[in-house]
Amino acid sequence: MNEHAIRRIVIVGGGTAGWMAAAPLAQRFEPAGEGRCEIVLVESPDIGSIGVGEATLPPIRAYNRTLGLDDADFVRRTQGSFKLGIEFRDWGRVGHRFFHGFGDFGPAIDNRPPWQHWLRLSHIVDGLPGYEDWSMATVMALRNRFAPPEGGAPSAANAYSFAYHFDAGLYAATLREYALQRGARRVEGTIVDVELRPDDGFVAAVRLADGRRVDGDLFIDCSGFRALLIGGAMQSPFEDWSALLPCNSALAVPSERVEPLTPYTTSTARAAGWQWRIPLQHRIGNGHVYCNQFIGDDEAAATLLAGLDGRALDTPRQLRFTTGRRRDGWVRNVVAIGLSGGFLEPLESTSIQLIMDAVGRLIELFPDRQFKPHLAAEFNRRMARQYESIRDFIALHYKLTDRRDGELWRYCAAMPIPDSLAHQIELFRSAARVAIFDPEGFAEPSWVSLFFGLGLRPESHDPFVDHIDAKALLQHFTRLRQAIAQTAAGMPDHADYILRHARAP
């Protein structure tokens, strides 16, 4: 037993981030007993959670598996559906659509990714079908089919992954129940003051409006945009990225479910932003993300409501944000997780991923009461790399589009971009290469989907694919395309799959 071991963790906030932090920590420190680290979560009855994070990325499956949550039970409890990727409408140009599917374009051919072979063929074969026809995730999604990938040898037919759409409130409730069952304690109250230790400026305790005091050794700031501890008490500066990601507002509204139940999120570009559509079992989640310098709130609401494909179930809820991140998410004994650590707008469903990764890193680098500085430094280094890489990935959507039909799009065409993104675009344009700055972030197939989808065609291809006979390669791709289409056609309809495996009560 480490005599300096952390004895109490205080989590400030009970939104998605708070409970996503509490659940694995409670699991880790279970069972209760001598020397156990206590987990206390403080949430305000008066300050609500944001509650709109409903689309995720595939690694959430590993997070759930680590907790021991059953896949079907989880989808049932959260009114969830399956997500094979994101359909982008009107992004590259009005009337055009493309798909960012989860997964690869099949196994490598002679050690080179299949998209490089496709690219070569596209330079020499007229009328070659689009690369999307070789992406299993895309073919399934656009036919509304779903089944989990089968194991066995890697093939084009199992080279895909999936994530979920879910009701954020039900997800937080699932994790809350999980954490409380494992001994975490929930304190209801509004924090009005933060007490610092005079000698080193570490947080000693938080004080609640009714006078109660909650002390601890480690404080996890999950207070959302308020950033009570990391911004307030620790004064970690906020890096404002709104010059690059100018959207600063959102309106969210649920609408009634319509058929078919699509196994993907849809993002439709609008005049001054974009609109999301997230299908759940009991409703569709919709939202309009926009920049209020370029469109008024009323017009943004009218655009949102006009773009629904079912009856609105409520009036739109307004949200404001500034894109960017805390320079340091871990300062002294405070670790920011969730919106308190930063926000990059939901275009690629990355916020919950950032929460999961921050929780994972905290557990990997778990401190004792000596708080050795290299632990925080490593956490901050990896979070910075991840935020910057996601920032570039999202900014790419705005930068590469050909749209010029609104002030937002004209602004984006002219805006300066970071060197890392300029490098990425020029590298792909001139040498058909992708630079992976964050090995834990979006992988090559995702960048390639975006580049192709937004209309960037490289001037060359990988020189090491030229030796394969083009005719034989074309035959191979034609057979592959047929096999993919056939496999997808044999899969159940997404709604039927849910009905059979995971229908909510």
Q: Catalytic amino acids?
A: 83
**Residue 237 near residue 326, CB atoms below 8 Å:** yes
E strand map for 226-344? 238-240, 249-255, 265-270, 273-279, 284-290, 317-320, 324-326, 330-331, 334-336, 342-343
Compare residues 354 and 417 and give the one whose CB is closer to ligand FAD. Answer: 354
Compare residues 54 and 90 and give the one whose CB is closer to ligand FAD. Answer: 54
Helix (H, G, I), strand (E, B) or coil at 153: coil
- Contact residues toward ligand FAD (CB under 6 A) are 13-18, 42-44, 47, 49-50, 52-56, 168, 190-191, 222-224, 226, 228, 250, 252, 287, 319, 321, 338-339, 346, 349, 351-352, 355
Annotated binding residues for 7-chloro-L-tryptophan, written as ranges, equal 83
Adjacent-strand bridge partners of 185? 40
135/112 Cα distance (integer angstroms): 16
Compare residues 17 and 245 and give the one whose CB is closer to ligand FAD. Answer: 17
168/19 Cα distance (integer angstroms): 11
Annotated binding residues for L-tryptophan, written as ranges, equal 348
Least spacing, CB of residue 219 vs ligand FAD, in Å: 12
116/110 Cα distance (integer angstroms): 11
476/352 Cα distance (integer angstroms): 39
Least spacing, CB of residue 60 vs ligand FAD, in Å: 9
Compare residues 43 and 357 and give the one whose CB is closer to ligand FAD. Answer: 43
Compare residues 17 and 39 and give the one whose CB is closer to ligand FAD. Answer: 17
**Residue 207 near residue 250, CB atoms below 8 Å:** no
Cis status, amide bond into 31, omega within 30 of 0: yes
Closest CA to 114 of 487, 483, 473: 473
Q: Report phi then psi at 423, rounded to 5.
A: -60, -45
How is residue 487 written in tokens?
Answer: 């496999």
